[in-house]
Amino acid sequence: MNINTQPLSGFMELLPGEQAEFDRLKNLIEQTYNLFGFTSLDTPLIERSEILLAKGSSELDTQIYFVNNGLYAKEPNSIALRFDLTVPLARYVAEHNESLTFPFRRCHIGKVYRGERAQRGRFREFYQCDIDIIGKNKLSVYYDAELPSVIYQVFKRLNIGAFKIKISNRKIFNGLFEQFNITAPFSEVLRIIDKALKVTTEELVEEFTGLGLDNSQIENLLKFMEVRGSVEDVISRLAALNIQNALFEEGLSELKIVIQTLELLGVEKDYYEIDLGIVRGLDYYTGTVYETVLQDSRIGSVCSGGRYDDLASHYTKEKHPGVGISIGLSRLFWQLKEFGLLQNINKTIAQVVIVPNDSTNLPTAISVAAYLRNHSIKTDLLLEDMPIKRKFAYIDKLNVPHAIVVKTVNDTEVLSLQHKESDGSIKKQELTKEEILKQIL
């Protein structure tokens, strides 16, 4: 009896009402992905370790959950739980290359595992909600524009607050660095650029000098950093910098196409902007990058992604460029819960619960349940014989929108529909089952 029944540390476990809300958000994300033609995949949670480790050493390697079973006794740790959904996609594309139609739009919502240090709101088992479009040999930049339109629809529908999709292109930075011969580490330069709004120009210059940049390099960087404003402004000011570098020009041209296409796709202007700085931390990507932030600063970034040159280079000789995004749903849900931003927390999925007053009312209660279920109403039914007070406690605890009490009044059975009004008062009506169906629908 001394067994610990708590879920493992770092593993989210929800109560029924929270779970219903989590599932509502998850289904909404998947349905929106499907709307854009992304077809759902569901690959095994366990992969060969060599697949997961193929990319070479990274922080993720130390976090892998290895799996062992008598079947693999000769090769301990030869299989493991996936740490993301991108590696399984790469393996899937390599394996099923001949059966897939490219460009291949896939959506995958599933759990992944990372043995990270325990932290509030960081999980070791968590849901990722990914979409990717994978090409064969090439992939048009127009696809880069479709993804922000998916993000836009997803967060509009989730209805969890104002958000902004930030867009940039890594080639712009890479071209700039190439053009001005900046050899200092990319991430270090970006770290300083990130501080720009918080420190004086003198302090900035000092920091850049510390990285070994010369005056001309610093001057060019400062000029570049002044590029801000509306999407049109940013694009015209980038062009006006007149940087004659092929990579820079390619990045700028791609950024232009993405912005123009967003308008055709009907994405409202308020919901996106160009933020050149977001390339930081998105090392994996090679072209367009995205980062979506909620205006509620306690939450911040909720979705990121971008364009990559070759998805499956570790598993196949075929070249597969792609573009994708990922939403970390478990963390987002935890934050919404933590900050009191969740709506609709009932204790059950049912729309109505039926309660017989006593055992003579049981047959009618059962047949009314069958009637409502046949009309697609999610119906709970209390069949346990218990004191009426506890029956009302059952209705109350479930916090369900409607309750029907079946009782006998003057030798006649009646259905009493009870509905909690927005002011907390209970409205009771005696109705037929047909009238009740109409009210609930």
What order do you get walking across the sheet with 301-308 strand by strand? 39-40, 104-113, 125-134, 322-328, 301-308, 288-294, 163-169, 272-274
Taking the complex as a whole, how short is the minimal distance between the CB of residue 324 and a copy of itself, in angstroms? 15
Taking the complex as a whole, how short is the minimal distance between the CB of residue 367 and a copy of itself, in angstroms? 5
* Neighbouring residues of 361: CB distance < 8 A, sequence distance ≥ 6: 406, 407, 408, 413
Q: 3-class DSSP state for residue 429?
A: strand
Sign of CA dihedral 371, 377, 378, 379: negative
Taking the complex as a whole, how short is the minimal distance between the CB of residue 19 and a copy of itself, in angstroms? 6
Q: Which is nearer to a copy of itself, 261 or 304 (CB)?
A: 261
Taking the complex as a whole, how short is the minimal distance between the CB of residue 311 and a copy of itself, in angstroms? 13
Taking the complex as a whole, how short is the minimal distance between the CB of residue 263 and a copy of itself, in angstroms? 10
Tokens in use for 389? 């007070």
Taking the complex as a whole, how short is the minimal distance between the CB of residue 365 and a copy of itself, in angstroms? 9
User: What is the Cα–Cα distance from 232 to 287, expressed in whole angstroms?
Assistant: 19
User: What is the Cα–Cα distance from 312 to 320, expressed in whole angstroms?
Assistant: 7
* Of residues 417, 412, 406, the one with CA closest to residue 363: 406
Q: Which is nearer to a copy of itself, 136 or 280 (CB)?
A: 136
Q: Which is nearer to a copy of itself, 209 or 367 (CB)?
A: 367
User: What is the Cα–Cα distance from 166 to 194, expressed in whole angstroms?
Assistant: 15
| Exposure b/e, 117-148, CB count within 10 A at least 16 = b | eeeeeebbbbbbbbbbbbbbeebebebbbbbb
Taking the complex as a whole, how short is the minimal distance between the CB of residue 26 and a copy of itself, in angstroms? 9
Q: Which is nearer to a copy of itself, 370 or 426 (CB)?
A: 370
Please report, in angstroms and rounded to a whole number, the separation of the first and last CA atoms in the chain.
47
Q: Which is nearer to a copy of itself, 83 or 290 (CB)?
A: 83
Q: Which is nearer to a copy of itself, 174 or 330 (CB)?
A: 330
Q: Which is nearer to a copy of itself, 5 or 410 (CB)?
A: 5
